[in-house]
A and B are shown apart, each in its own frame.
Chain A
Amino acid sequence: MDIIHPLDRYLRTDRLPHIWCPGCGIGIVISAMLRAIDRHISEGHFTQDDVATVSGIGCTARATLYLNFDSAHVIHGRAIPFAIGLKVIKPNLKVIVIGGDGDIAAIGGNHLLHSARRNMDITVIMVNNMVYGMTGGQVAPTTPMKVYTTTTPYGNLEYPLNLIKLVSSLNTNYVARASVTHPHLIERYIYNALSRDGFSFIEVISICPEVFGRHIGFRNPVELFNKLKSMIKFKAKPSIDESDIVWGKEIVLGEYVNEYKSGFIKLLYGS
């Protein structure tokens, strides 16, 4: 296929169209990620052959199928350990894990916290749509309280997991929250994450009109998008105490942890 868009070189265009539903937020995240990677490549920091993307299972995890890098689409929740295996053997690779909240925070939660604790030199992008999308709308550890899903037909009784607070409590270099309503921040945070050693984590708040929006009364993607946008507040230096997501109130975007400690790879191999 001819290159008709400047980012096409980073896509396996012969695999398009993609599987994502109309109104899905994942495409916004992927294009922002590719712009961030493209900026690094054009600035000479690394090449396309140095990038490795790894994902588990879920809607977001499908991204690696479409990306024209060395990629792995592995099993549910286990993208992070696969990525660590890659990174320690080929330290020059820029290893990016991309997945949804179910993949990264639920089944893969243990690997998330231990890789952050190690300050392992990988970047984890978690697209948080607050629901299990691919399997059709089940409750996630990130689903707000009281929300009806197919597995909480009487309302969710569980308090949602705050990933920003969790990962910030560990020995990590970078923790940021972005939102699909503000793509330039996604791009900036991914660019910043890829500019350093150690562990970096970016949560991107996304929308799933198909199976989340409909449960909370916003089946129309534009309405759901605008609803999310109305809750978003950007802060240059947010405090971790204000990182809780309470649906309907406010969601604070920003860089919560921004450090340059030595990553695991430097400790392993020396500088």
Chain B
Amino acid sequence: MRLEYLTGNHAIAEAAIIAGLKFYAGYPITPSTEIFEYLASKLPTKGGVVLQFEDEIASINAVIGASWAGAKAMTATSGPGFSLMVEALSLAIMTETPLVLAYVMRAGPSTGIATKAGQYDVMQVRWAAHGNYELVVYAPWSVQECLDLTIKAFNVSEMLRVPVILLSDATLAHIWERVVIREPPEVSIVNRKKPKVPRDKYKPYEPEEDLVPPMACFGEGYRVLVESLTHDERGYYKATNEVQRRLVWRLVNKVLKNKHLISDSATYLVDDADYVLIAYGSTARSAYALIRELRSKGIKVGLYRPKLLWPLDEEMLINSTIKAKKVFVVENNVGVYVREISRVLRNKEVISIPIIDIEVPTPDEIFEVMKEWI
């Protein structure tokens, strides 16, 4: 264990190295670039490779290739770059390729304000890629969580053979905080399952009981077939209802069935709360500050903070708001994640507090809206 003083971006990069990163491919984009630069300097000294590509499309496709060569691989980007990456994200889902994508949100639409924060892309990250799938997305609220959740992102991507997204933002990217860094064996590192059968019996998409297939990589003699088309367990293209249904449902269910292994959220003073604030990422810091202030005035307010944004842990959300008379969802956007909360808390009064602020919504700004409802 050691203490360091880092930015959110540095923490992501540091955590990736601890998790076993061996390949980073990227294209510079504010506010994510420090992840790239930090790794460009440090990863080669740990036996890894860092490459700058001609665009974000090449970057994520190279990451997928490197993962199939056996490396833990990642890229980082922001909104415009992620928009370019989504086709390959769908490929990674379809081919069950472990990778980590750090998405550092900035103000949009379009080029927006490159250096300033927002949480506009919380729906885009989940739904932008084509086809049906479950996507694992974590949202840190501090530099410490940038570190911890990046390690978790790698572990989950290896455990479930899925791409995992770490959804940070411009504020977290550049604030400096003290972090506790733990390395193995103080933290556990997960590596993908390898085949347990001989080469001639191996099928690259044949799942075990947890719905995750063991993964042979290129150059190991298994004659793997990475197939973007709908495929059977061998990786052979099959255009039938039977194969399409079996594949799509397994890709969805391998995440849902293992949700208990990936779920992560935090609560603060929800047990007796009349009102529960729900917030994620940097905005949750202001919600937390407001709750402390209101508690000192005797108002019973609590915080529910999902760290796993997608898929939402519905049971945790329901349990954390069970006694609340009203639920408030605070976001630095026009109010989008509130739709997911409302979907689950159908019988509750769910109030959206959308505050567009190119830094972080302040506790006062949140209270300004909230006070009319309490």
Contacts and interface: CB of A to CB of B under 8 A. Distances in A.
Given A78-B88, A81-B61, A88-B66, A70 B222 contact: yes
B227 interface: yes
Interface in B211-237: 218-229, 236-237
B69 A78 contact: no
A4 interface: no
Interface stretch (A33-41, A89-97, A132-140): A89-97
Interface residues of B, number: 41
Interface in B31-85: 49, 51, 53-55, 57-59, 61-71, 73
A86 B55 contact: no
Interface residues of A, number: 33
Contact of B226 (A15, A49, A71): A71
Nearest to B63: A85
Nearest to B90: A75
A86 B69 CA distance: 5
B271 to A, nearest CB: 49
A84 B62 contact: yes
A89 B22 contact: yes
Interface string B279-302: 000000000000000000000000
A20 interface: no
Of the candidates A50, A64, A78, the one having the most CB atoms from chain B within 10 angstroms of its own CB is: A78
A78 B225 contact: no
A85 B25 contact: yes
A88 B51 contact: yes
A89 to B, nearest CB: 4
Interface in A38-89: 49-50, 52, 54, 57, 64-65, 68-75, 78, 80-86, 88-89
A72 B95 CA distance: 10
B355 interface: no
A73 B228 contact: yes
B87 interface: yes
Nearest to A54: B65
A85 B223 CA distance: 18
Contacts of A57: 228
Interface of B: 22-23, 25, 49, 51, 53-55, 57-59, 61-71, 73, 87-88, 91, 95, 218-229, 236-237
